[in-house]
Structures are given as structure tokens and as C-alpha cells.
Amino acid sequence: MQSKNITRSQELFQQAQSLLPGGVDSPVRAFRSVGSQPLFIDRGEGAYVYDVDGNRYLDYVLSWGPLILGHANHDISRVICTTAQKGTSFGAPIPLELELARRVMGFYPSMERVRFVNSGTEATMSAIRLARAFTHRDLIIKFEGCYHGHTDSFLVQAGSGVATLGLPDSPGVPTVTANQTLIAPFNDLDAVKAIFQSYPHQIAAIIVEPVAGNMGVVPPVEGFLEGLRGLTEEFGALLIFDEVMTGFRVHPGGAQTLYNIKPDLTTLGKVIGGGVPVGAFGGRQAIMDLIAPAGPVYQAGTFSGNPLAMAAGVETLRILENPIVWENLEARSKQLKDGVLSILRKKALNYHLQSAGTMFTLFFTENPVSNWASASLANREKYAQFFRNMLDYGVYLAPSQFEAGFLSSMHGEHEILLTLEAIEQSLV
């Protein structure tokens, strides 16, 4: 398979270096860890994206998760256009906020009140402030390799681009802030218990990706999430499920429905904006009523609840309310998973495919991955080669071993077969 002509992307990336730091607006896009340079995208359609050189790729990045209905879905595009014709932002309440809130609560009944924001980072940042105010405590527990956006408190042993670039901490985060974040290995309940025993009255909350997605996909071991629920109750702390990535992705009702655990607070983003920037946090009414103006915890935003995100979100959730959409997504996810496992067996490769619902990661390691220590053993060079080979076969994966792949409802049987053929050729 010949490499594709990406001359125009290369030219644009060259220009971008003198305009944007590192040539991109978010580090995970830079392709650095896969020894390549980013493609500039012209357009998307269904399961495919087209770069500025006219190459077509089957897309498993899907804007890092939001596009569960694929690119440029007709219904979503239509509501965005009709909404935009009436105005794009008012900084005032609109009826669509209520409609999206009702739909979100329908899928996530633990969210008795919800506040819409503009990104997952904003949602987690606000949720942690709220948890601290509610408990009158300062410390939080997060897990090594989990990523909750780029707020200071969370840039400690974080996943996603932070792990990909090998930056355990970020300069610019005050030590005093980083010290308020206590770290435990994912899936290690004893470690969490030990932290609670050391600080029995100081921990405001545990924040967790209930299925980790930002060190690659790492499901919780049996009893882990139940154990976190039990410990938080025992020690008077809150349990925050960061479902920005897992929301509507591991189950329409998120990991909290899949594993039947009720968190105190939930953060959402990605899917609930239908491809337009959005975030949300919500939970028990008694906690949420502390948010201004109902209560004293300040949180605000000019574009929060803006018409375009609300309209695209309502339309997306309306479509996802049809159970057939999820059944098809699950069927295609299974087809992909079974196919990859059979290729691995045929090639006698003992790599680990890990998945949950519509999210997956092929780890280039012979050991199952249960936390960051085991994820970080994966062979990054082999992943990089695989990534480049797949691109040559027209399949666009996340440019990092430590991210998730995502399916959309537009990935049909044919697309999965194409993907499996590409994987068979690309795995060497």
C-alpha cells in the first residue's frame, strides 16, 4: 500500500507552525507520538472524513467522541441551520435549554438538576468546586491515567495528551493546587481506602472516568465502582462520575446505568452537543442547589446553553431515544471486536483489544491493561507503525496509543469489513 499524497496538508501544517503553538489548537491533534504530521480536514460525511488533498478516511476519531451519529447528519445540520437563522447567541434563557435538560435527565435520572456549560473541562472544573463547597473540604482523589480536562487540579498524572506527550505534571500548575489532588491507581480499591484512612475528614470527592478512556479503554474491574460508592458514603465524600467520554457511549445511560451505580454528580459533554461545543454537570438537587443563583457557588458563561449546542443536542438525543439506533451500534461494535480478535488469533499476536460499548483500544501489549502502569507498558512504536499503516489504508485512528476509538451509527457492516481488511494488512 502506497502512502497517500498529503502535500496540501503538509503545506498548511508548515504555515500553521508560525501561527499556532505546535501548529495546532489542541496537542492530541499533532500526530507527534505517531511520528507523523496532522491531516487538515476539509469535510466529513457519515463515517468518513476527507482531507484537503481529497483523500477519504474511515473515521474512528469522530471529533474525539461526540459524533455518535456520524459527520454532517442531515437532521442535526438542518436544526443547526434553522436555529442559526433565528440568532446564534442571546446570553439569555431559551426554551431549548429546558428541552435538552429534560432529555438528558431522561437518560440520566441521577441528574436531578443540570447546568449547561461549553466544554467537558468546564463541567469537571465546576463539579469539583461544587463538591468542595458542599462538603467544606478541599482534597480530591483522581486516578492515574484518567483525564478530566485541563483544569489545574486535574493536570496531575493525567491521561490523554498529557500521557501521550509524557508530561506527568504541567508547569504552571501551582504546587499548592496539585497537592490538593491525591492520586490512586485505577481499579485499586485498597489504595483508595488507604487514602481515605490517611485523610478521613478532608476528602471532598472522588472523580473518576467510570470506564477509563483517556489511557486507552480500561473497564472497571468487578466491585471497583461499587467500592468507590461505598467508601465515599462511609467517609462523607461525593462520588463524581466523569461521563464526558462514556456518556451515551458505553450505554445510552452511561456507565452509571451499565454498572447500576448512582453517583452524586455527573459530568457530560461530547455527545450531548451533537458536534457543537457543550458540557454539562448535574446531580442530586441538594448539591446542585448550591450553584448560583440558587446558591453561593459561582459558575457562569456567556455562551452557556447557547442555541446551536442546545438544538444539536436535542436532535441527537431525540434520535438516540430510538432503541434501534443503540442496537445497531452494539451490533457493529461486536462485529468489529469479533473480527479483530479473530485476526489477532490468526496472526498469533497476543495484543489486547479492550472495549466498552462503542469505545475500543487495541493495546500493543501482551498483558491485559487494568491501570496506567499496565497501559504504559504498551509498545508505542508498534502502535505508531500500525497507525500509519491504517492511514495508508484509509482508516483514521486516534494518533495515540492512549486514546479510545469510537464508532458511529454510520459505520455499517461494509465499513467494518473495510476496517478489518485494513487491520489484517496493517498488523505486522
Binding site for ligand HOZ (CB under 6 A): 26, 28, 64, 160-161, 214, 403
The distance of closest approach from Cβ of residue 155 to ligand HOZ in the complex, given in angstroms and rounded to an integer, is 12
Please, what is the minimum distance in Å from the beta carbon of residue 402 to ligand HOZ? Answer: 9
Q: How far is the CB of 399 from ligand HOZ (least distance, A)?
A: 11
Centroid of chain to Cα 232: 24
Query: What are residue 134's DSSP bridge partners?
Result: none
State the nearest-atom distance from the C-beta of 84 to ligand HOZ, in Å: 24
**What is the nearest approach in angstroms of ligand HOZ to the Cβ of residue 221?**
22
Whether 384 and 34 have beta carbons less than 8 Å apart is answered as: yes
Nearest CA to 411 out of 51, 68, 54 is that of 68
User: Residue 164: CB partners within 8 Å, gap ≥ 6?
Assistant: 27, 28, 32, 33, 400, 401, 402, 403
Which residue, 131 or 245, is less far from ligand HOZ as judged by CB?
245
In the set 60, 242, 259, 393, the catalytic residue is 242
Of the candidates 322, 326, 329, 378, which has an alpha carbon nearest to the alpha carbon of residue 350?
Answer: 378
Which among 48, 57, 60, 147 is annotated as catalytic? 147
Nearer CB in complex with ligand HOZ: 70/399? 399
Cβ nearer to ligand HOZ, comparing 123 with 237:
123
Nearer to ligand HOZ, 28 or 123 (CB): 28
Smaller CB separation from ligand HOZ, 149 or 339: 149
Nearer to ligand HOZ by C-beta: 137 or 148? Answer: 148
Sign of CA dihedral 218, 222, 224, 225: positive
What are the grid coordinates assigned to 179, written together?
497537592
Least separation in angstroms between residue 60's CB and ligand HOZ is: 13
CA 396: distance to chain centroid?
Answer: 17
- Toward ligand HOZ, which CB reaches closer, 192 or 397? 397
Q: How far is the CB of 29 from ligand HOZ (least distance, A)?
A: 6
Residue 147 bears catalytic tag = yes
The DSSP secondary structure of 255-298, one letter per residue, reads HHHHTT---SEEEEEGGGGTTS--EEEEE-HHHHTTBTTTSSB-
Rg of the chain in Å (alpha carbons): 21
Cα dihedral 291, 178, 145, 150 in deg (nearest 10): 50
CA distance 97 to 80: 15
> Which of these, 138, 147, 104, lies nearest to 238 by C-alpha position?
138
Q: How far is the CB of 64 from ligand HOZ (least distance, A)?
A: 4
Q: How far apart are CA 114 and CA 117, in angstroms?
A: 10
Looking at beta carbons, which residue is closest to ligand HOZ? 26
End-to-end CA distance of the chain: 13
d(C-alpha 401, C-alpha 384), whole Å: 8
Cα torsion 106, 108, 114, 119: sign: negative
54: left (phi over 0), alpha (psi -120 to 50) or beta: left
Q: Residues 270, 383, 393, 396: which is the catalytic one?
A: 270
| 147 vs 235 by CB, closer to ligand HOZ | 147
Closest CA to 240 of 126, 365, 92: 126
Residues with catalytic roles: 147, 242, 270
